[in-house]
Amino acid sequence: MMTALPPTQEQLDRPLIQVRDLSVRFGQQEVLRNINLSIPRGQSLVVIGESGCGKTVLLKTLIRLIAPTRGSVHFDGQDLAELSEKELTSQRIRCGYVFQNAALFDSMTVGQNVSFPLRQHTNMSDREILDRVRARLAEVGLPDSVMKKKPAELSGGMRKRVGLARALIMEPELILYDEPTTGLDPIMSDVINELMMRTRRNYSVTSIIVSHDMRTVRRVADRVVMICPVPRLQPEEPQMIFDGPPSELERCADRRVAQFVRGEAGERLMELRGSAAMSA
Amino acid sequence: MSNLSNSASIEANRSGRLRDSLVDWVGDWGGVTIDAFSAIGEMALFAWSTLYWLMSRRPRRGTLLPILYQVGVLSLPVVALTGTFIGMVLAVQSFFQFQQLRMETRLGAVINMTLARELGPVLAATMLAGRVGSAMAAELGTMRVTEQIDALSSMGTNPVHYLVVPRFLAFVLLIPALTVMAVFMGVVGGYFYSVMILGIDKHHYLYNTREFVGSWDLFYGLAKSIFFGIATAIVSCYQGFNCTAGAEGVGKAATAAFVHSFVLILLLDLMLGISLDAIYFTLWPEGSSLF
C-alpha cells in the first residue's frame, strides 16, 4: 500500500465537502434545487426532511452515485465531475456508505461482504483480512459466528451493523449513513446511534447522516440541515429551510421545521380531510 | 346568416379536431422514436463502457469461473437435448419432399448444412438467452433495486467491470462451444432418424454430407454465434442495470432481456447471413450447389 503524506494545514482547513448550486432533476421532476453546503472535517451533519424530499438523492450525489443536473460537488477540493472513472474510484475508497437496507451482497457470506473492499483494493493476506474483519464485526457488536451466515439469515439490525462494519473496513475519512435507524425497534435504534457516536470518536471521521428520526438528531448531530420537497416550496424559496445546531431546531421560526421536530401533521391533515370530503 | 355562421363554426371545429389529432399522432410517434433512439444510444454507451473495462483490466479468476460454469457447463445438457431434437425434426420435415424427388440421400447435406449454418448457432444463442440471459437480467435487476450496484460503486469497484465484463466474456468465449455441441448433437440426431428409422442408405447419406458440408459452413455458424453472444450479453446486462423499482421491474427486465435478445439474434442472423454470403461468393465465385 502507498504511504500517504501527512495533510498540510491548508488541506485540513479546507472543507471536506463543498456543494455549490446543486440541482438534480429526473425527467420533469425536480428533486434538488440550488443546494449550497459546506461540510468541514470532523463534523457530524444530520440531514432531515420528510420522505421524498431528496435526502437520499443528496447523499448519493455527494459521491457521484447520481450525477447532478447542475452545480458541483467538491470532495477535498476536487470537483468530482472533472475526475476520470479511475480517479473517482480512488476518491470513493475514502468514503464509507451505509445503505438504508444495508445493500449487502446476498450471494456472499457476511465475512465475504465485510472483506470485499479489502480484497478489491489491497494485497493483504487472508490472515490479515480475517483479523481485520473480526475486529470490525466485534466493534459493531457481532460475534465471529455471524461471518459464515448469508445476509438473508440476519435480522434488520444485524444487517445494518454488518453494513456499518463493511463501510468502516477501509478506515474512511467520510461516512454517509442513509436512514440508519429506519425500520428498527427503539432499542436497536439506540444501539445504532451509539455505534455512530463511537465510530466518530474512534476514527475521527466526518459523518453525514440522512434521517427523519429526531432521537438520532439529538444524540449524534453537531449540525442539522432540513430540506423541503421542491413541490412544497415557493418559486424562489431556497430548499434548505434550516441550517444550524440541533439546539436551535426548537426555536426555529419556520412553522414547517417546528412541525417536523414535534411530529405534527399540521396543514397535511387539512389535505386528508379535503380528499375525504371529495371521496364522500 | 346564422345558418352560414353555424356551418362555418362546425367546419372550423372539425378542422381544429383534425389538427389536434394530427398533432397528437405526430407527438406520439415522435415520442416513440426519441425513446427508441435514446435506448439504442444508451445501450451503445453501455457496450462501449463494457469494452473499455474489458481492455483496461482483466476480471479476477474468482469472479469469472462461477459465471463460466453457469453459462457453459449448466447450459450443455439443454443445448445438447434441443440440438438432438432439431436434427431429428429436420429429418422428419424434409424426408417426404426429398423422397418424391428420389433424392432422400441428399438429406445428409440438407440437415447438416442447415444445422451448421443456421439452426445450431441460433438454437444455442436462443437457449442461452432464455436460460442464462433472462436470469442474469433478473439477478442484476435485483441488485440494482436493492442498491447492491450502488454499494459496489460506493466501495470503489466499477460495477461494469465487476458484473458485466465476466458475463460478457463467458458468453463470447462459450457460445461457440455450445454451438458446436448443438450442431454435433443435431448431426447425431438427424443421422439416427434418417438412417435408423427412415431407412436411408448410410453410405450415400454420409457421402452427400461430406460432399456439400465443409469447414466454411462450420466457420459460418461459429462466426455468427460470437455476434449472437455479444448481443445477448450486452442486452441482458443492460436490461438488468436499467431495471425499474419493485418486483414488477425485475420481471419486466427479465422478459425484455429475452425478447430483445431474440429479436436481435434473428436480425443479426439475417444481416450476417447476407454479409457472409457476399464474402463467400467474392472468395469463391463458382460457389457450391446441392444439385
List, for residues B51-78, the tens digit of each pLDDT value: 999 998 888 888 899 999 999 999 999 9
* pLDDT over threshold 80, residue B289: no
> Can you give the pLDDT at residue A261?
80
Give, in order, the Cα–Cα distances in Å from B123 to each of A236, A239, B87, B136, B177.
60, 56, 11, 19, 13
Global ipTM? 0.86
Contact B158 A89 (CB under 8 A): yes
Q: Is residue A152 part of a domain?
A: no
Q: Is residue B290 part of a domain?
A: no
Q: What angle do CA B157, B162, B164 make, to 5 degrees?
A: 135
The CATH number linked to A234 is 3.40.50.300
Q: Which of A108, A120, A122, A169 to mutate to test binding with chain B, by most B CBs within 10 Å of its CB?
A: A120
Beta strands in A211-250 (DSSP E): 223-227, 240-244
Task: Pick the residue from chain B with its C-alpha nearest to A118.
Answer: B155
Residues of A in contact with B150 (CB under 8 A): 60, 65, 97, 99, 103
Q: Is residue B1 part of a domain?
A: no
The average confidence (pLDDT) of chain B is: 90
Task: Pick the residue from chain B with its C-alpha nearest to A62.
Answer: B154
Looking only at the bridges linking them, the beta strands covering A95-98 and A174-178 are parallel
Q: Which positions in chain A have a beta carbon within 8 angstroms of at least one beta carbon in chain B?
A: 60, 63, 65, 85, 89-90, 92-93, 95-97, 99-101, 103-106, 116-117, 120-121, 166, 170, 176
**Residue partners of B227: CB distance under 8 A and separation at least 6:** B268, B272
Identify the band that residue A274 occupies on the pLDDT scale cut at 50, 70 and 90: low
Residue A243, beta-bridge partner list: A225
> Can you give the pLDDT at residue B4?
58
Instruction: Name the residue type at position B268.
Output: L
Q: Is residue A234 part of a domain?
A: yes
> Can you give the pLDDT at residue A32?
92
Q: Is residue A6 part of a domain?
A: no
Q: What is the DSSP letter of A222?
A: S
For chain B, report the end-to-end CA distance as a whole number of angstroms: 82
- Is residue A221 exposed (0-12), middle (13-18) or buried (19+ Cβ within 10 Å)? buried
Q: Which residue is it, cell 415522435?
A: B30
The average confidence (pLDDT) of chain A is: 86
Identify the band that residue B291 occupies on the pLDDT scale cut at 50, 70 and 90: very low
Tell me what the mean pLDDT of segment B28-52 comes to.
Answer: 92
Q: Is residue B126 part of a domain?
A: yes
Which of A67, A30, A1, A3 is closest to A231 using CA atoms?
Answer: A30
Task: Pick the residue from chain B with its C-alpha nearest to A63.
Answer: B154
* pLDDT over threshold 50, residue A1: no
* Number of CB pairs, chain A paired with chain B, less than 8 A apart: 53
Q: How many domains does chain A have?
A: 1
Rounded to an integer, what distance in angstroms lies between the CA atom of residue B168 and that of residue A147?
31
**Residue partners of B283: CB distance under 8 A and separation at least 6:** none
Residues of A in contact with B155 (CB under 8 A): 92-93, 97, 116-117, 120, 166, 170
Q: Which of residues 195-234 of B touch A (CB under 8 A)?
A: none
Identify the band that residue A2 occupies on the pLDDT scale cut at 50, 70 and 90: very low
For residues A280 and A244, the model is more confident at A244
Residues of B in contact with A92 (CB under 8 A): 153-156
- Of B150, B156, B158, which is closest to A103 when you measure between CB atoms? B150
Rounded to an integer, what distance in angstroms lies between the CA atom of residue A31 and that of residue A13?
31
Contact with chain A for residue B3, Cβ under 8 A: no
Which of B259, B257, B269, B256 is closest to B132 using CA atoms?
Answer: B257
Tell me if B166 sits within 8 A of B140, measured CB to CB. Answer: no
Identify the band that residue A275 occupies on the pLDDT scale cut at 50, 70 and 90: low
Instruction: Name the residue type at position B33.
Output: T
**Residue partners of B82: CB distance under 8 A and separation at least 6:** B123, B127, B182
Q: How many domains does chain B have?
A: 1
Q: What is the pLDDT of residues B158-205, one digit of tens each?
A: 999 999 999 999 999 999 999 999 999 999 999 999 999 998 888 888
Tell me if A174 sits within 8 A of A17, measured CB to CB. Answer: yes
> Can you give the pLDDT at residue B3?
61
Tell me what the mean pLDDT of segment A247-255 comes to.
Answer: 82
For chain A, report the end-to-end CA distance as a whole number of angstroms: 69
> Can you give the pLDDT at residue A249?
82
Contact with chain A for residue B38, Cβ under 8 A: no
Instruction: Name the residue type at position B52.
Output: Y
Range of the domain at A18: 12-94+172-279
Rounded to an integer, what distance in angstroms lies between the CA atom of residue B51 and that of residue B56?
9
Q: Which of B48, B155, B158, B241 to mutate to test binding with chain A, by most A CBs within 10 Å of its CB?
A: B155
Return the number of other C-beta atoms located less than 10 Å from residue B290's C-beta. Answer: 11
Contact B148 A103 (CB under 8 A): yes
Q: What is the pLDDT of residues A211-234, one digit of tens each?
A: 988 888 888 888 999 998 888 888
Rounded to an integer, what distance in angstroms lies between the CA atom of residue B54 and that of residue A36?
38
Tell me if A254 sits within 8 A of A232, measured CB to CB. Answer: no
Identify the band that residue A242 occupies on the pLDDT scale cut at 50, 70 and 90: confident
Rounded to an integer, what distance in angstroms lies between the CA atom of residue B231 and that of residue B225?
10
* Helix %, strand %, coil % of chain B (to 5): 90, 0, 10
Q: What is the pLDDT of residues A9-45, one digit of tens each?
A: 666 678 889 999 999 999 888 899 889 999 999 899 9
Contact B151 A85 (CB under 8 A): no
Closest chain B C-alpha to A146 CA, distance in angstroms: 20
Q: What is the DSSP letter of A29?
A: E
Question: B152: which 3 cell numbers?
Answer: 459496489
Q: Which residue is it, cell 445546531?
A: A245
Task: Pick the residue from chain B with its C-alpha nearest to A120.
Answer: B157
Contact B146 A103 (CB under 8 A): yes
Which of B15, B180, B178, B212 is closest to B105 using CA atoms?
Answer: B212
Tell me if B134 sits within 8 A of B258, measured CB to CB. Answer: yes
Q: Is residue B36 part of a domain?
A: no
Range of the domain at B154: 57-283
